[in-house]
Amino acid sequence: MTVPDKKGYYGNYGGRFVPETLIPVLKELEEAYHKFNKQPEQQAKLRWNLRYYAGRPTPLYYAERLSKEMSGAKIYLKREDLLHTGAHKINNTIGQILLADFMNKNRIIAETGAGQHGVAAATVAAKFKKQCVVFMGAEDMHRQSLNVFKMRLLGAEVREVTSGSKTLKEATSEAIRDWVANADNSYYLIGSTVGPHPYPMIVRNFQSVIGKEVKRQISRLGIRNVTHLFAAVGGGSNSIGLFYPFLADSTIKKIGVEAAGFGLDTGKHAATLACGKPGVLHGSLSYVLQNIDGQILNAYSISAGLDYPGVGPEHSFLKETRQVFYTSVTDSEAMNALKLLTLCEGIIPALESAHALAAALPIAKQLSSEKAIIVNISGRGDKDIGIISEYYDQNKKEIE
């Protein structure tokens, strides 16, 4: 709970691996963040916007039919999908837009994969009258065309990135290049717990509202014998947001779920913590997918929000210290879980959230009905309908 250290390291992971010109910018950001945290007026603005603009607190919902289907533990869903913009990303963008405003930065830079962070960044930029530029890979723009339209409707400029795999890795690289060139007047609003210190700490702290609420809701609702927390892991913001307030509680097992894609043995996956090695990516030292020469590999997942070849440094530390356990599920397993939740509860989750659910269901089935597990539904599935439809067409599967 005391990490990171003064240099931004979580054990062996983290730090600031950036051009020298960005070091003073990052130090300025860190100082501003600590001042922002100490000002009651700013914290009151944050609470007000989370409640009345984003829609917090989100419910902790008992999925009764799904629980009966599994004939095991009670399954509770943390409904981040009910937030404004449809995902947990708004928690962090509200916090960082207030911080940018506090620092008098009027141009916002963001990167996005699935588009949810881009939409959330564009949303708060519109609300606070900021110029917004969002970098997005060409492949993700094709997969998430609805979110591209939303960002543009909100007034953001969406810049297509056509290099490499044309996904989140390249979008992040381009956003950092823009930031290096325009650091004086621009604020880089990172969407996950990645990047150089202090970004992993800042994003984690803004997202920890998820776990703090869950703690209160468990107590208020009288939920007993919670044994597991599940959340998807790409960069790692929704999962660290759920897990962080529970790290001191060793009685509850924390399970982060990566994307196994077509299978870990195929090379077509995004399971960084399962198959990666320590290396530097986008300004920090963490687990990354790389070849024997240290070149970053392309990640793959049916979920645009999970196909990132790195992971937040705190997750690497939590894996190493075994405070959190990490597993992975395939595309097909995630799709089966998505279909089951949709039919049992009338909730279509985002593909990212479906991965967490897919890992949770077998565990729930093994436990008694006196136990309870919690799954973070980090976003809703509207953005993924085209991908889901294409999956059924390609695999010649029936929806019903």
Return the pLDDT at 3: 81
pTM across the whole model = 0.96
Is 111 a domain residue? yes
Residue 390: CATH number of its domain:
3.40.50.1100
Angle (nearest 5°) at CA 393 between 387 and 398: 110
Return the pLDDT at 2: 63
Return the pLDDT at 398: 59
Last residue of a domain, one of 204, 238, 273: 204
Closest CA to 65 of 366, 359, 380, 345: 345
pLDDT digits (tens, 9 = 90+) for 188-244: 999 999 999 999 999 999 999 999 999 999 999 999 999 999 999 999 999 999 999
Return the pLDDT at 165: 87
Question: In this structure, are 276 and 180 located in the same domain?
Answer: no
- Kindly state the average pLDDT of the residues 292-321: 95
164 compared with 157, residue with greater pLDDT = 157
Return the pLDDT at 271: 98
Question: In this structure, are 74 and 117 located in the same domain?
Answer: no
**Cα separations in angstroms, 162 against 138, 165, 189:** 6, 8, 21
Residue type, 262: F
Question: In this structure, are 365 and 383 located in the same domain?
Answer: yes
Question: In this structure, are 213 and 200 located in the same domain?
Answer: no
Is 364 a domain residue? yes
pLDDT, averaged across the chain:
96
Please report which confidence band the pLDDT of residue 168 belongs to, taking 50, 70 and 90 as the band edges.
confident
Question: In this structure, are 177 and 233 located in the same domain?
Answer: no
Closest CA to 307 of 144, 170, 168, 172: 168
Question: In this structure, are 77 and 184 located in the same domain?
Answer: no
pLDDT digits (tens, 9 = 90+) for 339-362: 999 999 999 999 999 999 999 999
- Whether residue 268 has pLDDT greater than 90: yes
- Whether residue 399 has pLDDT greater than 90: no
The residues annotated with a catalytic role in the active site are: 89, 111, 378
Question: In this structure, are 355 and 276 located in the same domain?
Answer: yes
- Whether residue 1 has pLDDT greater than 60: no
Question: In this structure, are 297 and 173 located in the same domain?
Answer: no
Q: Which H helix or E strand runs over 134? A: strand 131-137
Tell me which residue range forms the domain holding 144.
10-51+89-204
Is 2 a domain residue? no
Closest CA to 331 of 393, 259, 268: 259
Which of helix, strand or coil describes residue 177?
helix
- Kindly state the average pLDDT of the residues 8-13: 97
pLDDT digits (tens, 9 = 90+) for 381-397: 999 999 999 999 888 76
Question: In this structure, are 133 and 264 located in the same domain?
Answer: no
Return the pLDDT at 304: 87
Question: In this structure, are 234 and 276 located in the same domain?
Answer: yes
Is 4 a domain residue? no
Question: In this structure, are 78 and 169 located in the same domain?
Answer: no
Is 1 a domain residue? no
Question: In this structure, are 76 and 218 located in the same domain?
Answer: yes
Is 159 a domain residue? yes
- Whether residue 269 has pLDDT greater than 60: yes
Return the pLDDT at 250: 95
Q: Could you tell me what percent of the chain has a pLDDT over 90?
A: 93
Number of structural domains the chain divides into: 2
Last residue of a domain, one of 154, 177, 204: 204
15 compared with 398, residue with greater pLDDT = 15
